[in-house]
Amino acid sequence: MPEHTAAADFAALLRELKDRSGLSYGVLAKRLHMSTSTLHRYCNGDAVPADYAPVERLARLCKAHPEELVELHRRWVLADAVRGRKGAAAAETPPEEAGSGTALGQEASGAAPPAEAPSAGAPPAAPADADTEVGTAPTRRRTRTAVLAGIAVAAVTAGVALAVGLPGGGSDGDGDGGRHRPVGAAGVTAEGTAPASSSPPSAAASPSSPAKDTGPARTPAGSAPAGAPSGEGQKSGVPVTVRAEPYAWESPCSQRYLADKPASEMKPPPLEEGAAAWVAAHGAVSSGQQYLRLTVQGTGPETVVVDGLTVRVAGKRAPLAWNDYAMAYPGVGCGGGVQTRAFAVSLDSARPSLTPEPGNEDFPFKVSESDPEVYYLTASVSAYDVDWYLELKWSSGDRSGTLTVDDEGRPFRTSGNKGRPAYEFPIGGDGWVPEGTTKLE
């Protein structure tokens, strides 16, 4: 879908919601904690927000219906995907092409490139009427200097990469060989024939859980198996992508996290878009339930059938004996409601499985590049601390496969919170207090 069409469709629905609300740009921007000009750009189609969270808050402020929320998210996914492809293409522009524009511009304007300043100790420049051979010597010297400088930079870069890649070098002892993954993004792998670049979720992440067969070797989703002939990546690759948001909020009132820190060392509750960073900073774990937003989209025009999602448990332990922190500010009303394509799972079950929320359809669903689907999963637990992940089964024509969806190579983690000390953060307060002690005026 062309970029202008995707962005325009997204902006059109935003404007419709904004106009229907009767609220001004200034009022909405203040409530959303963003500048009025930024909100103008979103509604005019001049920019697409990098995160969906502020868009959803805007829609809820404008009293959007559940169907409109789903449609708005679909349009944002399309606009964001097109923008991402454009950014990737710009990043892959060869240096020669990137530099050619400047050279052409200088030639068209008749301006000569700026002269190089002589370095200290450099021989004087040759006179204008010097022999051609002599006149080209500085050019050769400059070229040779640039080559040597490039070699030096490459050597330093290789040394740094070697130091980082050495076993034990820079490792923080988490067992992943020193590799650090961002929190809050999805890790997606697909069945294949090549050795895996990173291991799928396993009991290794949970010392108390039994060892399990990790299954066939895997390759990253959307790539061709190693050894495939050139040009067959699209044919043999996975025709569907999955984007997981493990720290999405159904509403602030329902979201809680466990952290092994006293209240005095905890930062104030974040907004939803800052939840992943807040969780990482405190080493926190979803408490009582975890709300996942999964965006499933085809990589091409062909239809892909999403046959189902299976919950896999990588480990179970006693619930964490940590403090429980509520993200909602006391006295602040919370919206929300069951989304379309909503599912629930109890991680306390011996064999957890997804069940559609009342009024929702069950799998299978169809997706393509221009028609993505968004699934909302609520995973609840009370008696255990659970490591878990998902397997998405897909089919397209005579091809089929399974994608493993997790938290950047690690299982999702959700722990029960019964009997744990609970805290809340009052509006206008300067710290966390025991839940239920805040007096509302």
> 3-class SS at 395?
strand
Higher pLDDT, 312 or 103: 312
| 61 and 192 share one domain | no
In a domain, 159, yes or no: no
| 76 and 203 share one domain | no
Report the C-alpha gap between 213 and 116 in whole angstroms.
63
| 273 and 418 share one domain | yes
| 197 and 79 share one domain | no
Identify the DSSP state of 410. Answer: B
| 59 and 193 share one domain | no
Left if phi > 0, otherwise alpha if psi is -120 to 50, otherwise beta: which for 263?
alpha
> Does position 8 have pLDDT exceeding 70, yes or no?
yes
Report the C-alpha gap between 187 and 243 in whole angstroms.
8
Find out whether 415 and 386 touch, Cβ atoms under 8 Å. Answer: yes
| 423 and 282 share one domain | yes
| Domain end point (choices 89, 122, 156) | 89
| Domain end point (choices 69, 89, 109) | 89
With b for 16 or more beta-carbon neighbours within 10 A and e for fewer, the 285-313 pattern comes to bbbbbbbbbbbbbbbeeeebbbebbebbb
| Domain end point (choices 89, 104, 131) | 89
Closest C-alpha among 309, 324, 335, 325 to residue 412? 309
| 76 and 209 share one domain | no
| 65 and 212 share one domain | no
Report the C-alpha gap between 439 and 426 in whole angstroms.
9
| 267 and 413 share one domain | yes
| 259 and 382 share one domain | yes
Find out whether 245 and 73 touch, Cβ atoms under 8 Å. Answer: no
Left if phi > 0, otherwise alpha if psi is -120 to 50, otherwise beta: which for 227?
left
Find out whether 6 and 371 touch, Cβ atoms under 8 Å. Answer: no
In a domain, 441, yes or no: no
Report the C-alpha gap between 78 and 52 in whole angstroms.
12
Contacts of residue 95, Cβ cutoff 8 Å, sequence gap at least 6: none
Q: What is the pLDDT of residues 45-95, one digit of tens each?
A: 888 888 888 888 888 888 888 788 888 888 888 888 877 666 555 555 444
Mean pLDDT, to the nearest integer, of 36-41? Answer: 88
> pTM for this structure?
0.55
In a domain, 125, yes or no: no
| 259 and 385 share one domain | yes
Q: Side chain identity at 134, as an amino acid letter? A: V
Burial of 71 (0-12, 13-18, 19+ CB in 10 A): middle
What does each C-alpha distance from 212 to 216, 312, 387 come to in angstroms?
A: 12, 11, 13
In a domain, 138, yes or no: no
- Number of domains present in the structure of the chain: 2
Q: Which domain does 401 fall in, by range?
A: 187-223+236-434
In a domain, 439, yes or no: no
| 83 and 192 share one domain | no
Which tokens belong to 63? 């009293």
The CATH number of whichever domain residue 45 belongs to comes to 1.10.260.40
Distance of CA 97 to the CA centre of its chain: 30
Closest C-alpha among 325, 243, 230 to residue 281? 325
Q: What is the pLDDT of residues 235-282, one digit of tens each?
A: 448 999 999 999 999 877 789 999 999 999 999 999 888 999 999 999
In a domain, 31, yes or no: yes
In a domain, 166, yes or no: no
In a domain, 9, yes or no: yes
Query: Which pLDDT score, from 0 to 100, does residue 331 have?
Result: 56
Lowest mean pLDDT among 71-80, 167-176, 306-315, 388-397: 167-176
